Copies of this chain bind each other. A is one copy, B any other.
Amino acid sequence: MMPQSLHASDLADRLGLVLRGEDRSVTGVGTLASATSSQLSFLANPRYRAQLDATCAGVVVLRAQDAEGHTGSVLLADDPYVAFARIAALFDRPQDTAAGIHPTAAIDPSAVVDPSASIGPHASIGARSRVAAKAHVGPGCVIGADCVIGESCTLVARVTLVTRVRLGQRVLIHPGAVLGADGFGLAMDGGRWIKVPQLGGVVIGNDCEIGANTTIDRGALEDTVLEDDVRLDNQIQIGHNVHIGAHTAMAGCSAAAGSARIGKRCLIGGGAGILGHLELCDGVVITAMTLVTHSIKTPGEYSSGTPLMDNRSWRKNAARFRQLDRIARRLASDAKDHE
């Protein structure tokens, strides 16, 4: 049910924006560089300011100060990116899913599926698991035993909930994600590994999003926990008994090892790693590919690594890294000599 078109004045009313200029109607959204006269665009990042003059977009969402001198129709917003996100959602095509269980799905007799839920082709639902109202379990998903899928959750396709995974409401999980696999618990016994049973589960709060091929292990004794509104990108690894605070976002390929505790409203950069049993307080920002090796008690931005260089310069400087302690010692001893 994609809308044929929306008037700029309607959008202004719905979202509390100010329309300036002609009340044009738009049938979709686009970038400043590519939008046509029947599309709406936005300007949020100042470095795209130059594209505003040349845009063909019928309507542009922007801040009042950026609208100075622009002659086209504009919607003035305090936060144009948020306003744009809300408008774009109106043009997003809803999924082609109807309530009911696809004939190829395999549902355990002890599982309970709400009649308003939809279960896709080749999905399977294990013993004692429950799928709540309006939830969507897409094609090829595997839901093991004792799981709960809350109201209006969407498991896009090929998602696995292994066992004892409980999702809140409106959780969105992308393909290939695996929640509730065994944590990596091993004990060395006479030269051989023995497995430490993983008896806990996974608890995911409301409004969380979990990216494609991301893995979240279940706890060893207690649960692995994501609080409400946690957002995980693709290919993230969350070890057993990790706890992630509300509104924290982690970028692609980052990882938190077992029993790490990440606060609320943290931002973890792509490829960053957090060692096990550490604690990060609320409001911590970790830059990309940083390794967090100790707990962090003060909000702020943290980093590790070295700058990017051409390989020849890098080789020369990196070789000196091996001598850093010797250099520092010599300097200290020189300083002493001069005293």
Interface of A with B (CB < 8 Å)?
28-31, 34, 79, 81-82, 84-86, 88-89, 91-92, 96, 102, 104, 106, 120-122, 124, 126-127, 138-140, 142, 144-145, 156-158, 160, 162, 172, 174-176, 178, 181-182, 184-189, 191-197, 199, 207, 209, 211-213, 215, 217, 221-222, 229, 231, 233-235, 237, 239, 247, 249, 251-253, 255, 257, 265, 270-271, 273, 275, 285, 287-294, 298, 300-325, 327-328, 330-331, 335
Copy number in the complex reads 3
Alpha-carbon distance A319/B306, docked complex (angstroms): 8
Complex contact A140–B142 (CB within 8 A): yes
Complex contact B291–A308 (CB within 8 A): yes
Extra inter-chain contacts (4) besides given A104-B104, A291-B305, CB under 8 Å: A160-B175, A235-B235, A302-B309, A306-B318
Q: 15 A–B contact pairs at CB < 8 A? A: A34-B221, A139-B142, A142-B157, A144-B157, A158-B178, A160-B176, A174-B178, A174-B182, A176-B215, A178-B212, A181-B211, A301-B311, A303-B309, A303-B318, A313-B322
* A157 CB contact (under 8 Å) in B34, B160, B293: B160
Alpha-carbon distance A84/B199, docked complex (angstroms): 13
A121's nearest neighbour on chain B, judged by CB, is B106
Complex contact A162–B184 (CB within 8 A): no
Complex contact A290–B317 (CB within 8 A): no
A192: chain B residues at CB < 8 Å are 207, 229, 247
Alpha-carbon distance A11/B291, docked complex (angstroms): 41
Complex contact A186–B96 (CB within 8 A): no
Complex contact B328–A331 (CB within 8 A): no
Complex contact B221–A85 (CB within 8 A): no
